[in-house]
Structure 1
């Protein structure tokens, strides 16, 4: 079989003839960037073939100069013989910053203000019992005796027990002098006796809360008795190899890849759990429950459910509220009889992560009109409040695409080490920037892209339609028939290539922000409200946490509201999942939220496309909607472009505005 060697990793792998370089890299453990799932349309998996026998499909995503240097797209190149491949730095799927949110200060303040509190009663809990031994006068059967004792401590009208537990019960009770610990789990309206242990083991009760994101997976290890978060762990979702967006993964599943996708995410979750329990010296046997929150597609893939109908009209899923199941049945490694709960979804495109976010922020209890925006690929938006004792909520998914995560942008990247995350354009036209990890820049992540577009607009280097103005700056040039702005010249970048933003990149970002703003406006108008009627905006998600609010307003991503009304609330998905894990009342509230929230399909609104087109200007066709931006653009900045195309790091104080990558920890 042909052997493929990857540099600079210096690893080799034998593969079948005809296998793609992308598949060979995966087999060798070399992670390549991939957005399109191997369809050859993103251009991110470019590698350099040093020598060997290959068959590369023609592509327009590589320049003539790159092809002459040996560049190919790994997913479109077949191995015909032994090959040596170099993986350039920009092609690596590097790990980055993941928002873990163990016990964020912002949520402690939020709980106090919004009174988000629930009775502590975990979905699965241990109960130590000392049963009175049977006598001639109290000759109740063992099973009924157990139920009677449980009901003395808990008001559980309906209980059930499996045959395995029933068989073990007589000997266990008598060997332990009728002193046992029962593990009880909520399954719908029934409480199940999951296991019986001799003696008092009630102090050893743990649970796992997981945010199963499209890009990242975050897990918290929780003490079920105290509610304390013991530890947290995170990683990038390994399903990225099959496509960055959920639609790509649905297509992969349709082509026979459902089982592989399911195994991949289960393996990620198991790796996180293993890291948590080993680090804290906890037995897997004592992990009794796991609550997962994620979008509807991710929950389908986790459970191995066919997601294909989610992307087809009328966009109906297999289930928005899967019942609790044995975690072992899915392949998750906790107690063999432990339960897996998936937070119920609102619709096919507004998932349990949003339900968890609504729970965490207390939006359903607020007497103010609150908007929750998860600024990401799916762009979920919620507006709600409580009036006259009734909570109403409307939701939608704006389908912004992956541009805000640095995907689909020429020099875009995730917020990993070397990503430009902050940008300012000075009055003299010079570019100041800040990178993750304070190292030489490799590319630009989402927050940096928003800063950059806002800066270009305010400096007068682009017009309100997003078009670059060549005469405005010597940094604007034409390459391959397309205008681009040089952010960092090659001699100052880690890749030794110019870091640029192209006209096409700007258009992608404008489309993405237009989708989200149009979605917010449709929801607002559907309620006969005005933007000024919004009392508070919560920005959720890992990306939303690093947004500059003023810059987001400047480009028209979020409504022009006073900054004090706009709050970052972090990873509300994991916070909500943890609240549900620790409280049956909170779990029932999740079910209530999912059932009562109204899901709007934006495409069904006759004026959505008009709103989308109007929002494809910076900040909007109707500038008066953004008075603060109108005021800033009215200033005569009179930029004096620097003759030298350079770039300097931003002078941030240490620890201020700085994100660290996992490698820095």
Structure 2
């Protein structure tokens, strides 16, 4: 113990990191201070049970909990968020609680050097970067041509860019250095121009021709991951991509938990600093890897949900989670990136794409632009299943949207052995009528848990094989020892301990199934409500676009079988990857695309499902497999009838 009896040392393994904390601190607080990630979906409220760590030495004060099994208690497992430090400690963070080995799955297309010119043309966007460089050869003044330096520059820009004088502006710093720069290289200069709404700003003027050296970064600011893509703004080529886990996760994996943490701990600056640090690390990695100077990065475009934009910009997010759920801003004007501490060119611009409402953010408006929902002739659905479930229905004439209160169950939250799509996650699963389980994992390594696609397969396969009924209840009469009662709850053993990487059986419990059914039910209810609100039927929907990483290995047939997706031909359901990032790249490279995202955000009509009685009725009906009304799922009705014969 330290000389000060109120200060204790906590030693974290396997990181081999030491930190000193006060005696009223929890182990989770100590981990935050040590900058060590500990899985904590509920943000430290003691309700998720994911922050399990092993107390190697020392003593703690913790209330009793049902979130730890008797076997885990015997092995000195504790909940980090519930354990108060009362002595010097040594804490082992087990594999299932840390991020070790969890490589983020980037879109493979991002790994290739490619031009986006063809993609922009296919989407009918003109390549015209938000921040661009143009080389100008000005005529020097004479006695017969005595136009001032600044006005001379404006005239050249107007002729080159076909713009009016009244849309341009110049800062004081540029005015002060302009005469010297113009004459330094015989009146040949490179002008950096940035779109700021209706204004075209002269961001910089450099001597000579540097127009071919201009880069920008498109960023998907996700709740779980932050993905950055470096683009050559002159050629429209993707140079490189990188991703990290959002370090805000240590404050809670759900952004509502992070808002609560920020308000209760007066930690908004801390949250803002956290996400900016992530972005700076990504940009630094990209420029070093590609031998590019930071000053050559002239623009950043960010797309994220409404809460993440508030954290990034340091805006007060408190009212997002309280009625009537009002953001500080949905449409945010461009600002100097340096004002937020983002390390690029000191006069470079940060653009944040627009949101629609508290729970439909720029990741959705960006995604809608990426698939050109605004050009669809027939009603089309865009569904993004992630930390939340957002749904957009529309075409070129109209768009309606909502956010389903699905909860992140398909990202592993609230599921005993749920995890993200990472190395060791079961991503595909089959169960025979004899209850034999086969599976494949990401990385083809021993399983550590089950990710979203595997969980979806699991529910569908258990329904087909008769392990559960349509209400999701275990059929206790089935003849297998894999169904067992443990800690006053039934669970089904999917993988025996000797096959796993976590020294424990991987199971799915009755509570897990109920959680997953609620999540899929919320998504389907949101889809149903939007379709019905427009006087349409499922048959009127031309296509369903599935966005986000969840769709990478999603079995469409299984998604329909459990009633998460509407019963329609699989050919009409398309996976489109990270459309949030795709839209951000398009906006970075094209003013047309940027304006399209703005227009889409203005056009969308938001349906607030909070307290919506019709939605609650739809949700209750969708809390069966696939639905209380089997007539909505004729193919599943036929499938289940065939299984019973």
Using structure 1 for the length normalisation, give the TM-score. 0.92
| SS class of match (2:613) | coil
Task: Give, in whole Å, the separation in 1 of the partners of 2:121 and 2:183.
Answer: 50
Query: Displaced runs of 4+ in structure 1, greater than 4 A?
Result: 111-115
**Equivalent pair of 1:45/1:74 in contact (CA under 8 Å):** yes
How many Å apart are 1:333 and its aligned residue? 0.7
* 1:175 aligns to 2:184 (yes or no): yes
Q: CA deviation at 1:377?
A: 2.2
Per-residue CA deviation, residues 561-598 of structure 1 (Å, 9 max, x unaligned), is 10100000000000000001111111111111110111
| 1:546 corresponds to | 553
Partner of 1:652 in structure 2? none
How do 1:500-511 and structure 2 match up within 5 A?
A: 500-511=507-518
Written as runs of structure 1 = structure 2, the 5 A alignment for 1:333-372 is 333-372=343-382
Distance in 2 (alpha carbons) for counterparts of 1:40 and 1:355: 35
Contact map agreement 2:105 2:422 (CA 8 A) in 1? no
Is the Cα–Cα contact under 8 Å of residues 41 and 413 in structure 2 kept in the other structure? Answer: yes
Cα distance in structure 2, aligned partners of 1:628 and 1:219: 41
Which of 241, 253, 260 is residue 270 of structure 2 equivalent to?
260
- Determine the C-alpha separation between the residues in 2 that align with 1:10 and 1:238: 19
**2:609 aligns with one of 598, 602, 615:** 602
Partner secondary structure for residue 133 of structure 1: coil
Q: CA deviation at 1:492?
A: 1.6
- Measure, in 1, the Cα distance between the counterparts of 2:169 and 2:408: 46
* TM-score, scaled to structure 2: 0.95
What is the CA–CA distance in structure 2 between the aligned matches of 1:272 and 1:415, rounded to whole Å? 21
Return the alpha-carbon distance in structure 1 between the equivalents of residues 419 and 570 of structure 2: 28
Q: For 1:432, which of 438, 442, 447 is the aligned residue? A: 438
**2:61 & 2:612 partners in 1: Cα distance?**
47
Match of 2:622 in 1: 615
**Where do residues 633-644 of structure 1 align in structure 2 (5 Å cutoff)?**
633-636=640-643
Counting only pairs closer than 5 Å after superposition, residues 357-436 of structure 1 correspond to structure 2 as 357-386=367-396, 391-436=397-442
Equivalent residue in structure 2 for 1:270, among 280, 296, 304: 280
- 301, 308, 330: which one aligns with 1:320: 330
The partner residue of 2:216 within 202, 207, 213 is 207
Asked whether the 8 Å contact 1:517–1:615 carries over to 2, the reply is: yes
In 1: Cα distance, 2:626 partner to 2:111 partner: 32
Deviation of 1:542 after TM superposition, in Å, equals 0.9
Preserved contact between residue 486 and residue 500 of structure 1 (Cα < 8 Å):
yes
User: 1:427, CA displacement in angstroms?
Assistant: 3.0
C-alpha displacement at 1:67, in angstroms?
2.6
- Alpha-carbon shift at residue 37 of structure 1 (Å): 1.3
Q: Partners of 1:422 and 1:279 in 2: how far apart?
A: 35
TM alignment of 1:68-147, pairs within 5 A: 68-94=74-100, 95-100=102-107, 102=109, 115-147=122-154
Q: Distance in 1 between matches of 2:221 and 2:120?
A: 28
Q: What SS does structure 1 have at the residue aligned with 2:176? A: helix
Task: Please give the secondary structure, in 2, of the residue aligned with 1:367.
Answer: coil
Of residues 220-229 and 114-123 in structure 1, the stretch that sits farther from structure 2 once superposed is: 114-123
CA contact (8 A) 2:111 2:240 kept: no
Structure 2 partner of 1:482: 489
Q: Is the 8 A contact 1:100 1:234 kept in 2?
A: no
Cα pair 1:50 1:84 within 8 Å, conserved: yes
> CA–CA distance in 2 between the matches of 1:295 and 1:399?
14
Q: 1:453 and 1:345 mapped to 2: Cα distance?
A: 34
The answer to whether the aligner puts 1:574 opposite 2:574 as a matched pair is no
SS of corresponding position for 1:523: helix
**CA distance in structure 2 between the partners assigned to 1:480 and 1:61 by the alignment:** 10
Matched, 1:534 2:541: yes
Once residues 543 and 114 of structure 1 are traced to their aligned partners in structure 2, the CA distance between those partners, rounded to angstroms, is 28
- Alpha carbons of structure 1 residues 372 and 590: separation in structure 2 relative to 1, 3 Å: same
- C-alpha contact 1:181 1:197 (8 A) present in aligned 2: yes
Contact 2:230 2:239 in 1 (8 A): yes
Instruction: Give deviations 1:447-469, integer Å, cap 9, x for gaps.
Output: 11000000000101100000011
Offset, 1:63: 2.9
Separation in 1 of the partners of 2:309 and 2:146? 47
Tell me, yes or no, if structure 1 residue 5 matches structure 2 residue 14.
Answer: no
Contact map agreement 1:101 1:571 (CA 8 A) in 2: no
1:194-241 CA-partner distances (Å, limit 9, x unpaired): 111111000100000000011111111001011111111111111111
Give the CA deviation at 1:112: 8.1
| Residue number among 589, 608, 616 corresponding to 2:596 in the alignment | 589
Per the alignment, residue 644 of structure 1 pairs with none
Distance 2:387 2:618 in 1: 19
Secondary structure at the aligned position of 1:193 is classed as strand
Quote the Cα distance in structure 1 between the aligned partners of 2:188 and 2:107: 40
- Structure 2 stretches lacking a partner, 5+ long: 1-6
Paired position in structure 2 for 1:456: 462
State how far apart, in whole Å, the 2-side matches of 1:187 and 1:11 are: 46
SS, match of residue 170 in structure 1? helix
Q: Which moved more, 1:515-524 or 1:597-606?
A: 597-606
What are the Cα deviations for residues 129-171 of structure 1, in whole angstroms up to 9, with x where unaligned?
1111111111111111110111110122211111111111111
Can you list the C-alpha shifts for 1:601-648, whole angstroms capped at 9, x where unaligned? 12354311110000000000011211111111012468xxxxxxxxxx
Contact 1:102–1:220 under 8 Å retained in 2: no
Contact 2:128–2:590 under 8 Å retained in 1: yes
Counterpart Cα distance in 2 of 1:288 and 1:251: 35
CA displacement at 1:88 relative to structure 2: 1.9
Specify every segment of 5 or more residues in structure 1 that has no aligned partner in the other structure, as ranges.
639-665
Q: Distance in 2 between matches of 1:553 and 1:286?
A: 48
Q: 2:115–2:238: 8 Å Cα contact kept in structure 1?
A: no
Deviations 1:360-397 (A, max 9, x none): 101110112210000122211011113xxxx2111110
Does residue 236 (structure 1) correspond to residue 242 (structure 2)? The answer is no
Q: Secondary structure at the match of 1:247?
A: helix
Map Cα deviations across residues 342-363 of structure 1 (whole Å, 9 max, x no partner). 0111111111111111111011
Which secondary structure state, in structure 1, belongs to the residue aligned with residue 298 of structure 2? strand
Is residue 99–residue 570 contact of structure 1 (8 Å, CA) maintained in 2? no
Shift of 1:103: 5.3
SS at match of 1:6: strand
Match of 1:217 in 2: 226
1:62 offset after TM fit, Å? 1.8
Name the SS for the 2:610 alignment partner.
Answer: helix
The alignment yields a C-alpha RMSD, in angstroms, of: 1.9
Write the distance in 2 (CA, Å) between the matches of 1:406 and 1:599.
28
| Count of residues paired in the alignment | 632
**Structure 1 residues 104 and 525 mapped into 2: Cα distance closer, same or farther (>3 Å)?**
farther
> Using the alignment, how far apart are the partners of 2:99 and 2:563 within structure 1?
30
1:230-265 Cα offsets, whole Å, 9 max, x none, are 111111111111111111111112121111110111
CA–CA separation in structure 1 for the residues paired with 2:395 and 2:359: 22
